[in-house]
Chain A
Amino acid sequence: MTASTTQETVRRPTGTPLTRALGIATLIGLAWFVAFGLFLSPDDVVQKKGVRILYLHVPSAWLAYLAFIVTAISSAAYLSKRTRSLTWDRLAGASAEVGVLFMGITLLTGSLWGRISWGVYWVWDSRVTTTAFLFVTYLGYLAVRGLGGTHHQRARRSAVVALLSVLEIPLVHFSVEWWRPLHQQESIANGKLSGLMLFSLFVGVIVFTLMYVWLVLHRQRLLAMQDALDDHGLEFAIAERREEAVF
């Protein structure tokens, strides 16, 4: 590896040609999304301009679900003896972090949309409450990951939490059908969105998906570097102790 290549990999330590292509595609998609979401799609008859918030709210919620499902699948792969690898654990952790970010966006945008449509930022209805509960649960999952111990202890502990936490997703998703809250039911499945509005939402889903993949790839490489540094730190400490023992 030449000096310039080494310098380049330090400047972009988690980047590869794939992530660079993904990043460019995400930025192009983002420009499209803002153009359609803010300017080109029409106002809704009932919600007026407030509908534009839904182009953020719905994709971020869907991608947060996906992120938590990926966390659960990766955790199961780690727990399985045949596929046990810390790579699965780091993928689970990275996906959960991005999921928490997207769930936070869902709650924030939902709150702003609620102020326009319902007149209040927050209501304790079943959908909003279960979503907040899911958000707090995954904050707890990230806290569990931060507890002490070896990498494998962390992986085992957090995999169990992830497999239990993912059971909340059906509760959140079906809460609008089971308890009939203030939160509206499925708009897309019921055909309430069409034309440019549906297209704007579609662009939003694509952009958030690209963003999710890009963020998870970078984040899990960062976690790998953090783990490697922890290992080296331990090696350095042992070497120092050995030297102390010799003298």
Chain B
Amino acid sequence: MEIRFVVISYIATFGGIGVLVAVMLRRARALAQRLPPEDRPWT
């Protein structure tokens, strides 16, 4: 049982963060297409 819970915790943690990152970058790309470059001063 222990090893199963350990693996679940690692997969859930990094899988969850990975999904969030993917959603965030996808949203950023969608917004960037609708905005002029001057609204992204860091680029």
Q: Which residues in A have some Cβ–Cβ distance to B below 8 Å?
A: 1, 6, 9-11, 13-14, 16, 30, 34, 37-38, 48-50, 52-53, 56, 60, 101, 104-105, 108-109, 112-113, 115-116, 211, 215, 218-219, 221-222, 224-226, 228-229, 232
Contact = CB atoms under 8 A, between A and B. Distances in A.
8 contacts: A16-B43, A116-B1, A116-B2, A215-B20, A218-B24, A225-B28, A225-B35, A226-B31
B32 A228 contact: no
B11 to A, nearest CB: 11
Chain B interface size, as a band, is 20 to 34
B42 A16 contact: yes
B34 A229 contact: yes
B33 A56 contact: no
Contacts of B9: 53, 56, 108-109, 112-113
A225 B2 CA distance: 44
Given A50-B5, A53-B5, A60-B13, A14 B25 contact: yes
B32 A30 contact: no
Contact of B10 (A34, A211, A215, A232): A34
Nearest to A225: B31
Contact of A1 (B6, B16, B24, B37): B37
Contacts of A116: 1-2, 5
Contacts of A232: 35, 39
Given A225-B31, A229-B34, A229-B35, A56 B10 contact: yes
Most B CB atoms within 10 A — which of A34, A101, A112? A112
B10 to A, nearest CB: 7
Contacts of B1: 116
Nearest to A60: B13
Given A1-B37, A13-B43, A101-B17, A53 B28 contact: no
